[in-house]
Structure formats: C-alpha cells, structure tokens
Amino acid sequence: MRAVLQRVSHAAVRVQGEVIGQTGPGLLVLVCAMQNDTEAQADQLAARVAKLRIFQDEAGKMNLSVRDVAGSALVISQFTLAADTRRGNRPGFSAAAPPAEGQHLYEHFAARLAQEGVPVETGRFGADMQVELVNDGPVTIWLEA
C-alpha cells in the first residue's frame, strides 16, 4: 500500500458540495491499495502512520506523533498514487488493486488507524471528491508498506 501524509491544520472532503469528512489539526492521508496488497500491509501502514513523529515538540523538533498531539486523520482513497508515468504522457493505473479489493483495503486501513488510537474520518471510495487542506509546515511524507 502507498500513502501520502500531509500534516494539516485543517482538511475537509466534499462530495457534491457536502462536507462528508474533516480533520484538523492532524493528518490528511491519501491512500492507495496496490495489486496483491494484503490486510497485513494495511495494518503495518496504519501502525506507521499512527507512530510517525512529524509534529513539533516544545523545542520545535519533529518529535511527536499524531497520537501524541491528540490529532485526528482524514483518510482519502486515491488510486492515482499507483500512476505509472515512465512512458508517454498518459499515466497508467494497472498497478492499483481492483476496485472491490481496493475498497476493502482502504476501509480496513482506516479502521486499523482508528484502532491505533487516531480519530478517523474518511472520504467516499470511488466518488468524485474535492479535498481542501491547509498543509502545516509544509510537511508531506510518502510511505509504502
């Protein structure tokens, strides 16, 4: 699985103009299930996200996790993280998990992150979503499990 984490002061996702999920301060997590990914990989990724020390401590050092700062997460499915751009001008997405498998792993990841003690809100799998955020830092981290 792949994820892009952004430390945010606020993030929200809309579907057809309606806010369906939001967070802040905390993390915006864009997540993509790849071909042959497993629940074990989703579990590993969720544990890493929960423990990743990218929030500032009293000394201004990135030394605290989202749990340490009592933050929350907005988890958005983003199959375009599987983009293959090595050839041509149009990305290929064949490395992404099939939709049913991708949805299962996305939902499993979000549930597992919540079990790690991080309050989680989500987007809607497969929907046309508008995501807005205020990136804090900016801090953007790419993870793969």
Q: For residue 16, indicate whether it is catalytic.
A: no
Distance of CA 10 to the CA centre of its chain: 14
Inter-residue contact 53 to 63 (CB < 8 Å): yes
Residues in the chain: 145
Per annotation, catalytic residue among 6, 23, 41, 78: 78
**Residue 79 a catalytic site member:** yes
Among 22, 55, 79, 122, the active-site one is 79
Catalytic entry in 16, 35, 80, 140: 80
Element housing 110 (H / E): helix 99-115
CB 52 within 8 A of CB 7: no
Q: Which residues are catalytic?
A: 78-80
